[in-house]
Structure 1
Amino acid sequence: MKNYSELQSVSNFTNRTINGSVCTRDNYVSQVVFPLLYTVLFFVGIVMNGLAMRIFFQIPSKSNFIIFLKNSVISDLLMIMTFPFKILSDSELAHWSLRAFVCRVTSVIFYSTMYISISFLGLITIDRYQKTVNPFKTSGPGDLLCAKILSAAIWIIIFILSLPNMILTNKKTTVFKVKKCAFLKSEFGLVWHEIVNFICQFIFWINLAIIVVCYILITRELYNSYKKTKSVRKGPRKSVNMKVFIVIAVFFTCFVPFHFARIPYTISQTRDFFFACSSERVLFYLKESTLLLSSSNACLDPFIYFFLCKSFKNSLMNMFSHKKKMTHSTEETVRRKEVLSAESSEETPL
C-alpha cells in the first residue's frame, strides 16, 4: 500500500483544484499532435544530419570553423536520437516505466545538447566575424589546437553540470510519479535542477549577446565595404549578405522563444504552489511549443553548413554529381543489354 506522502503528491498532480476546477491538460495535443511533429523532425533530422556527418568525415579539420561545425553536427545527432524516447513516452505507446528513463537520461541529454549547440553557434558567429574582418587569414596549428581544446571544454562543462540531474532523479518509480519528472527528484535534485536551469539561461544570454554584437559589427563591415565599392558587383554582394545572416536567423527562430518561456515554467515545476492550475497549463503548452522550435535547430543547422562552408557544399555537390553519373551509367548499361537481348531474340530461328 502506498504511503501517505506519495498519495498526497499524486493527488496534488492529478486532482489539484483551483477555484473548484480540475487541473487537466488536452491529451490530444500532448499525446498526438506533439509526438507527430517530433516524428517528422526525427526522420528529417536523421537524414540531413546523417548525410552531414558522412560529408564531414571526408573533410579535414583545417580551420576553426570546420571544427565547430563538426561538433555541432555531433550534438545535433545526439539530440535527434532522444526524440524516439520522447515520442513513445508522450504518446503513451510504451510502458509507463519508459517515462522514468526519459526523465533521468534522455531529457538530460536533450537539454545538454541544446546548450552545446547554442555555445557552438556563438563560436561560429565569432569565427564569421573574424572572417569578415580578415577574409584572407587562415587558421594555424595553434589556432586549431585552441579550437579543439575549447570544443572539448564545452562538452565537459555541460556534462559535469548535467550529470547530477541524472543521479539526483533517484526516487522510487511508480505509475503516478512518472507523470511529472519533478516527483522523481530528491529535494536537492529539485534545487540543482533549478540552479542548472539558471546557468543554462546564462549560457543562452551570453551567446545571444555575442551573436547580436558580432552581427552588428558584421553589418557595419559589409556596409562600409558596400560604400567603398558602391554599385560594383552589387548582386553577388547581396547574396553573400543573406548567407552570412543565416546563423542569427536560425538562432532567433529556434532558441529565443524557448528561453523566454523556460524560467517561469521551471519555477512552476519546482514550486508549483506559487501557480494557479490555469497558469501551469498555459506555461506547459508554451514550453512544449517553443521546445519544438528549439528541437527544429537539428534540422536547420545543415543549412548553415551548406551556405557557409564551401568544403561542405562542394563535397555535397560532388556526391550528388557522382551518384547521378553512376545512375546514368547503370541505366545506359541496362538499356544496352535490353537492345542486345532484343537483337538476339530476333536472330533466333523459329
Structure 2
Amino acid sequence: YLFLCSTPAGLIFLGGDENNTYDSYCRFHFDNWTITLVPVYILLTSVLGIVFNVFVLMIFCFNKKPWTVPEIYLSNLAAADLALMCSLPLWAVYVFKRFNWTFGLFMCKVFNESLIMNSNCSIYFLAMVSIDRYLALVHPLSLRRMRETLFAKLGCLLVWTLGFILSVPTFIYWDTKSDNSIKNVTVCFVNYPSSTLNLTFNSIIFVFSLIIPISIISFCTVNIIKTLRSRVMNSLNAERTNHKATIMVLAVLVAFLICWVPYHLLRIPYVLLEVGILTECKVRYIIHICLQIFSYLAVFNSVLNPILHVIVGKKFQQKVQRHFKLIKKETTL
C-alpha cells in the first residue's frame, strides 16, 4: 500500500489542497508501527479517558450540594474530554484500515468536527480553570464577584460557542475522495478551495487554539506561583502545603505545554507545505511522522486532565469517600 502525501492522517486539524501539482508523484509507504501500534494506543487512550472522565462526572452529578465555580469548570472540562475520547475509536479503525475511510461523507465531517470542537473546548476550559485559581489565590477579595456561579456558567457557554464556531469550517470543507492509485481506498481529508483560505483558517486556529490559551494559562500560573511563594509561612505544615500547590500548578502547565504545543507548532511547516513553499517528499514524510506522534500526544492530555485537576484533589477525594459511604449505607439497609 502507498500513502498519498497530501492525505491527512490521524488527528488532522490542518489544511490540505488537493490541487497541488506535486501530489501526483509524492508518495511513501506505510510504516508498520502506524498500522499495528497506533490503533492499540488510540483505543487504550480512549478507554482510560472515558473511564476517568465518566468517574469525575459521576461524582459531581451524584453530589447533592450545589456545584461550586471550580466544579462547574471541571465538570465541563470532563464533558469535553469525554466527548473527545468517545470519538477516538473511529480514528483507530481508520488507521487500522490503512487510512481507508468507510463511514461515509457525513461521518467524516461529524467526526472531525467533534474532534476539533471538543479539543478546543478542552483547551479553553483549562484556561478557565487557571483563571479561577488565579482569582481565588491572587485576588481573593478584590475580584471575588467574578467567581460567582453565574459568571462561571456564562463562561462555559462562551467556551462551547467558541468551540462550535471554530469547528464550523471543518463541517464545510472536510470531504471524502477515492484514491485512484489504490483500489477500494477512500480518504477523509480537508479540501480547502484555495491556499489563501487554507492559510487564513490555520492562522486563526493557531492563534485561538494555542497563542491565546497558552498566554492565559502561563500568566495565571506565573502569578499563582509568585503569590504562593510570597505568603508568610507560619509553620512547617504551611510550607509543605505551599510546596505541593506549587508543584501541582506547574504540573498542569507542563502537561499542557508538552501535549499541545508541539502539535500546534507543526502547523507552521504544514501550512508552508500545503501552500507550495515546501515541496520535497522527504519534508512531507518528516511532517507526516511528526504529525502522527504529536497528534497522539495531544489527545493524551484528555487522560491527564481529570487526574491533574480533579482526582488528586483532597476535596474531590472527600466527595468520593462520602459517595461510597452513602452507597455502602444504602446497600446495608
* 1:210, distance to aligned residue in structure 2 (A): 1.5
- The superposition leaves residues 195-239 of structure 1 with CA deviations (integer Å, 9 ceiling, x where unpaired) of 33222211211111112122211111111114x537563333322
Q: Distance in 2 between matches of 1:109 and 1:43?
A: 17
> Match of 1:279, as an amino acid?
V
- Gaps of at least 5 residues in structure 1 are 1-7, 18-22, 331-350
**Structure 2 counterpart of 1:179, from 183, 187, 206:** 187
User: Which amino acid counterpart does residue 115 of structure 2 have in structure 1?
Assistant: F
Tell which has more relative contact order, 1 or 2 (C-alpha 8 A, sep 6+): 2
Counterpart of 1:262 in structure 2: which amino acid? R
**Structure 2 residue 313 is the aligned partner of structure 1 residue 313:** no
Shift of 1:66: 1.6
Unmatched 5+ stretches in structure 2: 1-17
1:238 maps to a residue whose letter is H
Equivalent residues of 1:125, 1:247 under 8 A apart: no
Q: 2:69·2:147 contact (CA, 8 Å) conserved in 1? A: no
Match of 2:12 in 1: none
Correspondence 1:244 to 2:244: no
Per-residue deviation, 1:140: 5.9
Match of 1:301 in 2: 305
1:84 aligns with 2:104: no
The Cα RMSD (Å) is 3.3
Question: Residues of 1 paired with 2:237 and 2:43: CA distance?
Answer: 47
Match of 1:16 among 9, 25, 32: 25
1:67 and 2:64 matched:
no
SS for the counterpart of 1:181 is strand
Q: Which residue of 2 aligns with 1:284?
A: 288
Asked if 1:107 corresponds to 2:112, the answer is yes
Aligned length: 309
CA distance in 2, matches of 1:277, 1:295: 27
**Would the alpha carbon gap of residues 232 and 32 (structure 1) be closer, same or farther in structure 2, given more than 3 Å must change?**
closer
Amino acid at match of 1:216: V
Q: TM-score if structure 1 supplies the norm length?
A: 0.76
Residue of structure 1 aligned with 2:218, choices 174, 190, 212:
212
- Post-superposition offset of 1:27: 3.2
Q: Distance in 1 between matches of 2:198 and 2:163?
A: 13
Distance 1:318 1:108, change over 3 A: same
Question: Who is 1:164 aligned against?
Answer: 169
Equivalent pairs: percent with the same residue? 22
Distance (whole Å) between structure 1 residues aligned to residue 325 and residue 293 of structure 2: 39
Q: Which amino acid aligns with 2:91?
A: K
Higher share in helix: 1
Aligned match of 1:54? 58
Q: Which has the larger radius of gyration?
A: 1
Q: CA 1:91–1:103 in 2, change beyond 3 Å: closer, same or farther?
A: same
Structure 1 pair 45–67 and aligned structure 2 pair: CA distance change class (3 A) = same
> What is the alpha-carbon distance in structure 2 between the residues aligned to residue 29 and residue 10 of structure 1?
28
Inter-partner Cα distance in structure 1 for 2:277 and 2:101: 26
Question: Does the CA contact (< 8 Å) of 2:177 and 2:186 recur in 1?
Answer: yes
| Aligned amino acid, residue 187 of structure 2 | K
| Gap change, CA 1:217 and 1:202, over 3 Å in 2 | same
> TM-score of the superposition, structure 2-length normalised?
0.80
1:265–1:165 Cα change, 3 Å? same
Shift of 1:192: 4.3
3-state SS of paired residue (2:178): coil
Deviation (angstroms), 1:324? 7.0
- After TM superposition, give the deviation of residue 89 of structure 1 in Å: 0.6
Amino acid at match of 1:207: P
For residue 229 of structure 1, give the secondary structure of its aligned residue in structure 2. Answer: coil
Look up the equivalent residue of 2:163 and give its one-letter code. Answer: I
Residues 320 and 135 of structure 1: is their aligned pair in 2 closer, same or farther, counting only changes over 3 Å? Answer: farther
